[in-house]
Amino acid sequence: MDVSQVSATELVADLRGGRLSAAQMMQATLDRISAVNGQVNAIVALRDADALMREAEAADQVKERGPLHGLPIAVKDLVNVAGIASTSGSPSLKDFVPEKDDELARRLRAAGAILIGKTNTPEFGLGSHTFNPVYGATCNPYDASRSCGGSSGGAAVALATGMLALADGSDMMGSLRNPAAWNNVYGLRPSWGHVPSEPVGEVFLHQLSTLGPMARSPEDIGLLLDVLSGPDPRHPHGMPSAPVSPVEARDMDGLRIGWLGDWGEAFPTEDGILALCEQALGVFADLGCRVESVPPPFASEEIWESWVNLRSWAVSNSLGPLLEAHEDLKDSAIWEVERGLALTGRQIQRASAIRSDWFRCAAEIFERYDALVLPSAQAWPFDVSQPYPTQINGIGMDTYHRWMQVTVPVSLIGLPALAVPAGFGATGLPMGLQLFGKRGSDAALLSLGAAYHAATQWPQVRPAKSGAMERAKQ
């Protein structure tokens, strides 16, 4: 039984309706993982197969069935899952097996999903390249010598290879959007507060990272978003949210889309990326949208200054205690913690003021445009043995994450962004766009993405060796 390219929406409907048993679904999933995972290393800490089959068989006896009843899901290895090693890719946590679920895992279980293991991530989720000293690197399924991106790299690869139908991820600096682009799938960074973070420690100040869904279509994204979203009374920033599923393609006629390109050459971008993205924008134009080039609306260096300081401040808050305990952290984590600890109150206030100015500026732009568009990445998937790109087009990158600056305008002010596939470059590697809108426009972006997906079906396309495209088996 091959369910590797069947939509999650179709699978859960068959599982709820009894046309597909949870045991059949689990066996098909385990067979697919056995056949594929050894080549890409996307799913880690996989539970015992016999135990998973028993859980699936028990699910078949349950009469009340949730929206994800019987669907196998591996959870990103930054989320604690009871009974499953939850390492965050760090040697300091390699033997940590939580006794209780984080809220995201709890919501998945409550919806009827069967949690089978984890998806690989960089150590503590830092950097957009999925490798760590616990599980090693995850490879790009389109070229195993290349990075799959990150930090939700394992999730994106598991989707692209058909090992999972749905996957969760998280996004501080493009961690849902970059791997979606590099693996030819979809990822949604929700409006900040739409999906609550784990309510532990300080929960008022650090408004940067968010959890979110990944899938092979916007319709499937909506299915998982409804499970993950909704306020948590323990979290002060939760947003009330109406269901977005079923996601339906909207009428695109007359919608205005603004193309920001490389932000007036502020974001160095490897050859071929902008041209491919502009080609993808042509699909929106063909569907009736008015696509216009938009000049840089705000100073890129001010956005970067605000971002890099607020990010280091947030990371030093979470990882500082580990450094103080002399845990062995990777260089980028140490750099972030030391920067964050050295920041002054005046620097934090300035960063927040810049963020506020950019939010107000963006709000004015969205009075004229239904969505804005940027590339999802500035570089093609790079050598899997390389920690991160040190230059783009001969321009040196002054930090380990500067090469992902294109994701920062969205992340800094908590806007929703849907990463959509844009097709393949000359070497057969995928790339994507990020469509973003005003705060709270998540459902509208998914409907926009659904119309684009119906016209392109990129996740079902594979680049042939000749450079032509061929449809994957359905």
> Would 435 be classed as within a structural domain?
yes
**pLDDT for 23:** 98
Residues involved in catalysis? 76, 151, 175
Report the sign of the C-alpha dihedral through residues 195, 198, 203, 207, in that order.
negative
CA–CA distance, 303 with 313 (Å, rounded to integer): 15
Domain count of the chain? 1
**pLDDT for 471:** 57
Burial 438-455 (b: 16+ CB within 10 A, else e): bbebbbbbbbbbbbbbee
**pLDDT for 437:** 98
Cβ–Cβ < 8 Å for 93, 50: no
Confidence of residue 462 (pLDDT cuts 50, 70, 90): confident
Domain containing 132: what range? 8-462
**pLDDT for 326:** 78
> Would 34 be classed as within a structural domain?
yes
The domain spanning residue 230 has which CATH number?
3.90.1300.10
**pLDDT for 238:** 85
> Would 438 be classed as within a structural domain?
yes
8-state DSSP, 429: -
> Would 193 be classed as within a structural domain?
yes
Tokens of 107: 């919501």
For the segment 12-53, what is each residue's pLDDT rounded down to a tens digit?
Answer: 999 999 999 999 999 999 999 999 999 999 999 999 999 999
For the segment 416-457, what is each residue's pLDDT rounded down to a tens digit?
Answer: 999 999 999 999 999 999 999 999 999 999 999 999 999 999
> Would 3 be classed as within a structural domain?
no
396 has a pLDDT exceeding 90:
yes
Over range 192-210, report the average pLDDT. 94
54 has a pLDDT exceeding 80:
yes
Confidence of residue 124 (pLDDT cuts 50, 70, 90): very high
Confidence of residue 253 (pLDDT cuts 50, 70, 90): very high
**pLDDT for 465:** 45
Reduce the secondary structure of 82-147 to three states and give it as a string. CCECCCCCCHHHCCCCCCCCCHHHHHHHHCCCEEEEEECCCHHHCCCCCEECCCEECEECCEEEEE
> Would 212 be classed as within a structural domain?
yes
Tell whether pTM > 0.85: yes
**pLDDT for 374:** 98
> Would 469 be classed as within a structural domain?
no
**pLDDT for 466:** 33
> Would 337 be classed as within a structural domain?
yes
| pLDDT mean across residues, the chain | 95
